[in-house]
Structure 1
């Protein structure tokens, strides 16, 4: 992987969704107030005048200052990494890590993509599903590998359906992965659990509190982080041994941090990608 990080022959694949102003795919959408260069000149001149300097916007070259944006946004908007603190105050009796305490070593490594695009929206991905997906890849998980759950939900980004049309992880499935040494699990869906509406329906019908955010709350028993709202997993040329980095921004005592996961793939892997696609469509093994 170290060679790919510095190689000019590596293709970089962006696996993230960025922050946008008021998208319908966010229940608490970011608000982005953008200032162009002319407005930037006015604001910079005002700042300088407050410091006692006689400067007007027209004094800037061509009357243009610096563009920037004011943002109002939660750390769970866009692609982000949830810290154990998000799930609860403790993990197995120990204080839960906040986002700035996450070891960087957790956030880089080889990824394994498990394809669940055939699962229906609202279904749970359980241990048997994970074992079958790994068997299909003829792959045994190793400690420090990053597991990426592919649902295909990223194709719905920009629509309200993005919030409801995806399967989610089960508590036992989550613990199964962590028990094998996995500390970071990603998904291309809005959330790691089933959609809110499905969890609410199940809880009202059963009265069983374990129907509410079971995969998240598994993080009170086993320590792990999850990346939500990933994208473009279908652009990866293979399903295993995909080097990625996904370092979160540090927020003091934060429950999450925005992240831009990037995969590093050897140039010339397009042919490999097409071969994987052909094998997958035929129902055979991928690697």
Structure 2
């Protein structure tokens, strides 16, 4: 019997208020703003009557309908799949694909969890050596076509915790190590794939080297893969022997889309 394990974070507009003030402008990445219309309340009743040309007293069971209006929502909201276009206009020597260029068969892949928690540290790089140690612990190496899910432990934090934004991050070298082994989907339980923005900005300011800026994502320019961020519930998975479906909304010509990510575990 197959168990379905949801790896998707809930898009709750209440989370927008938990962002620190300096990140308030990024609220659309956390969750959409949602206007709720309940069938028993005025907005749901008024909408029903407006569309159907009736009065409140005419409504069946005395109620309208439930509906919601979503706004201020990024294509990179919550658990989402990055298309190659997010990293640059080219990927692997070809024009970068958008989210609607990716076939469903490319988004249903064998999963491999690499648990780097014993070695990874806040706001520091996840190294190739850490990935190799995690593969050894998992008892399986990355194989061509794998979806590699990096378990950093960040899912234990909420938006109210400062540690949420101090994730261990992947670098160009560690990202390319996985794609060169054949991984086509790269997932993480952290808010971002790379080191925190502040850490990258400081490294650039100190050394003047632009290659330190967003180098994990920029590695996709060299070798195509799809990055998935803000996964949850990785602790419910075995290290391997399961399939994962990453099913993004079909947003035409976009660089990413929110997705429902589900593991299929026998």
Q: TM-score scaled to structure 2, two decimals?
A: 0.89
Larger radius of gyration: 1
How many residues of Structure 1 are paired with residues of Structure 2 in the alignment? 252
Which residue in the other structure is 1:109 paired with? 109
Which residue in the other structure is 2:234 paired with? 233
Which residue in the other structure is 2:157 paired with? 156
Q: Partner of 1:254: helix, strand, or coil?
A: coil
Q: Partner of 1:210: helix, strand, or coil?
A: helix
Which residue in the other structure is 1:223 paired with? 224
Which residue in the other structure is 2:11 paired with? 19
Aligned match for 1:34, one of 21, 33, 36: 36
Task: Decide whether the 8 Å contact of 1:178 with 1:224 is kept in 2.
Answer: yes
Which residue in the other structure is 2:127 paired with? 126
- Pairing 1:68-107 to 2, within 5 Å after superposition: 68-72=67-71, 73-107=73-107
Which residue in the other structure is 1:56 paired with? 55
Which residue in the other structure is 1:265 paired with? 265
Give, in whole Å, the separation in 1 of the partners of 2:131 and 2:117.
13
Give, in whole Å, the separation in 2 of the partners of 1:194 and 1:93.
26
Give, in whole Å, the separation in 2 of the partners of 1:74 and 1:162.
23
Q: What is the CA distance between 1:22 and its match in structure 2?
A: 4.2
Give, in whole Å, the separation in 2 of the partners of 1:63 and 1:199.
57
Give, in whole Å, the separation in 2 of the partners of 1:171 and 1:58.
63
- Pairing 1:143-222 to 2, within 5 Å after superposition: 143-161=144-162, 163-222=164-223
Give, in whole Å, the separation in 1 of the partners of 2:92 and 2:134.
28
Q: Partner of 2:57: helix, strand, or coil?
A: helix
Which residue in the other structure is 1:248 paired with? 248
Give, in whole Å, the separation in 1 of the partners of 2:138 and 2:92.
32
Q: Partner of 2:240: helix, strand, or coil?
A: coil
Q: What is the CA distance between 1:34 and its match in structure 2?
A: 0.7
Q: Partner of 1:176: helix, strand, or coil?
A: helix
Task: Decide whether the 8 Å contact of 1:164 with 1:196 is kept in 2.
Answer: no
Per-residue CA shift, 1:242-280, capped at 9, x if unaligned?
A: 2221111110111111111111223xxxxxxxxxxxxxx
Per-residue CA shift, 1:161-210, capped at 9, x if unaligned?
A: 25423101111111111112211010000000011121122122111111
Q: Partner of 1:260: helix, strand, or coil?
A: strand
1:67 and 2:66 aligned: yes
Q: Partner of 1:247: helix, strand, or coil?
A: strand
Give, in whole Å, the separation in 2 of the partners of 1:103 and 1:182.
16
Change (3 A) 1:171 1:242: same
Task: Decide whether the 8 Å contact of 2:113 with 2:138 is kept in 1.
Answer: no
Q: TM-score scaled to structure 1, two decimals?
A: 0.83
Give, in whole Å, the separation in 1 of the partners of 2:51 and 2:163.
42
Task: Decide whether the 8 Å contact of 2:77 with 2:257 is kept in 1.
Answer: no
Instruction: List 4+ stretches of structure 1 deviating above 3 A.
Output: none
Task: Decide whether the 8 Å contact of 2:122 with 2:163 is kept in 1.
Answer: no
**Which 5+ residue runs of structure 1 have no aligned equivalent?**
1-8, 49-53, 267-287
**Which 5+ residue runs of structure 2 have no aligned equivalent?**
none
